[in-house]
Chains A and B, each alone.
Chain A
Amino acid sequence: MMEARAYIESGILELYVFGTLSESETQEVAQMAEKYPEIQDEIISIEKAVISLSYSMAPYLSAANYDRIKEQLIEKHTTKVVAMQPKSNAFSYIGWAAAVLLMAGIGWQYTQLDAAQNQVAFVRTENDTLNKELNAVKLTETQTKSLLAVVRDQDNTVVALGGQAVSPESAAKVYWNQNTQTVYVDAAGLPEPPEGFVYQVWSLKLDPLTPTSIGLLDDFKGNDSRLFAVSNTSGAEAFGITLEPAGGSVSPNLEQLYTLGKV
């Protein structure tokens, strides 16, 4: 159940209905929908919204369009047969035969051309799908690369933050680049914050204890890597993370101190 809820909240189903996912992602969503009825229901609701939206965007469409299209489709599926009058003249037979051959030839070429055009259109669609696939892979690669670059930097001081009384199983890591003073927080070891709350990161001086807010872990659910950039800091002696009401607080609520670690 939790898995289905998180999957729905990730926003992937909307893109599934829009048709902008790669082929493999589309298949994954289809499988999830088969497994969880609530995912299937959600897809149908999203689709209803999108159907209403696109419907309301159309200008007036005259009934003549319907006739034109129907005519075209029917034309392509039936051929009219014309009865031939018997003729005694041999030349006229040859003439008719030649005409029939010519017509048949043109007709055949037309179907060939039509088939080829159709094929081109579908190869394009396929190409498009493959491109999307490639983009999705590239995207993951870029994300992974930039994450690795952050984590691997030689100038980093890595501070492990351990779980505190309110949540002993929590953990986090701070990557503090001494050169640039930038700070990244790896929050993969923190539970999802409850609705209406947000994690706030503090850089601390210990004697006397002086906390300075260096940022919020905003959009926690949407950040798949759980790696967050927060504000620069200098001279920190420890880092702590507390749970605060949405928007953050001026000073930390120490009863909701999730993790803490000394530099």
Chain B
Amino acid sequence: MTQEELLPLILKKDDKAFTLMYDMYSKNLYGVIYNLINDREEAEDVLQEVFVKIWKNIESYNESKGRFFTWIINIARNTTIDKLRSKGFNNSRKNLSSDNFVHLLDDSNKLSHMIDSIGIQEFVKKLKPKCIQIINLLFFKGYTQQEASDELEIPLGTVKTQNRNCINDLRNFLQV
């Protein structure tokens, strides 16, 4: 099943649609949320909130807002950030967590039940440190180019291209 096939079912609130959507994306959303909040129970609560929001606001999604996957990832990031704020964490995303996704891998590895993700985890650990940082900020934490340029002290004009090179390394490994 692809995004394009799933979307009309969700819009109709078809009985099976929720289950299909959950199967397709729960791990992706959980991965992003966990990376921001670093606590499995809190992350599960946020995941629940995110699915309710997606389900209730699905009518407000249309393709001019970008890919469906992108839309739900943004909801997951925003909901997690709201949650952290409401818990009295510092107001800034920058102070959320000093860990990046690779550090968290070692914790989650023991708990992961999916054999097929082990291969990519091993590969991800071998990515250039520069790539780990840039993907962590831009994708997992949702930084803008300016914020990433400030944080990593690299020229603004090269943020996009460096990130592309890193994603290309990943794509070569995955052959997509």
Contact residues of A with B, CB < 8 Å? 9-12, 14-21, 26-27, 29-30, 43, 45-61, 65-66, 68-70, 72-73, 76, 118, 121-122, 124-125, 128, 132, 135-136, 138-139, 143, 219, 221-225
Contact = CB atoms under 8 A, between A and B. Distances in A.
Given A15-B145, A19-B142, A26-B65, A219 B157 contact: yes
A48 B31 CA distance: 15
B69 A72 contact: no
Q: Interface majority SS on A: helix, strand, loop or mixed?
A: helix
Given A9-B164, A118-B53, 10 more contacts: A10-B164, A18-B70, A19-B66, A29-B66, A50-B139, A58-B27, A69-B52, A138-B146, A219-B158, A222-B162
B44 A51 contact: no
Contacts of B51: 69, 73
Given A49-B170, A55-B28, A121-B53, A12 B70 contact: no
Contacts of B32: 54, 57
Given A27-B64, A224-B157, A53 B145 contact: no
A121 B53 CA distance: 9
Contacts of B171: 45-46, 49
Contacts of A9: 161, 164
A52 B120 contact: yes
30 contacts: A11-B159, A11-B161, A11-B163, A14-B163, A15-B138, A16-B70, A19-B73, A19-B142, A20-B143, A20-B144, A26-B66, A47-B69, A52-B174, A53-B135, A53-B170, A56-B120, A58-B30, A58-B31, A61-B26, A61-B27, A65-B48, A69-B47, A72-B48, A73-B55, A118-B57, A121-B82, A139-B146, A219-B158, A222-B160, A222-B161
B35 A48 contact: no
Contacts of B105: 57
B176 interface: yes
Interface in B92-120: 101, 104-105, 107-108, 111-114, 117, 120
Nearest to A57: B31
A240 B176 CA distance: 42
B74 interface: yes
Given A50-B139, A53-B124, A124-B82, A15 B160 contact: yes
Contact of A57 (B101, B138, B159): B101
Contacts of A61: 26-27, 30, 44, 47
A135 to B, nearest CB: 5
Contact of A17 (B53, B70, B79): B70
A139 B161 contact: no
B63 interface: yes
B63 A30 contact: yes
A18 B160 CA distance: 12
B167 interface: yes
A16 B117 CA distance: 25
A177 to B, nearest CB: 20
Interface string B133-176: 00100111011111100000000111111111001001100101
Interface centre among A61, A69, A224 (most CB of B within 10 A): A61
Contacts of B67: 16-17, 43, 47
7 closest Cβ pairs, A-B complex: A11-B160, A11-B164, A57-B31, A58-B31, A222-B161, A56-B117, A59-B108
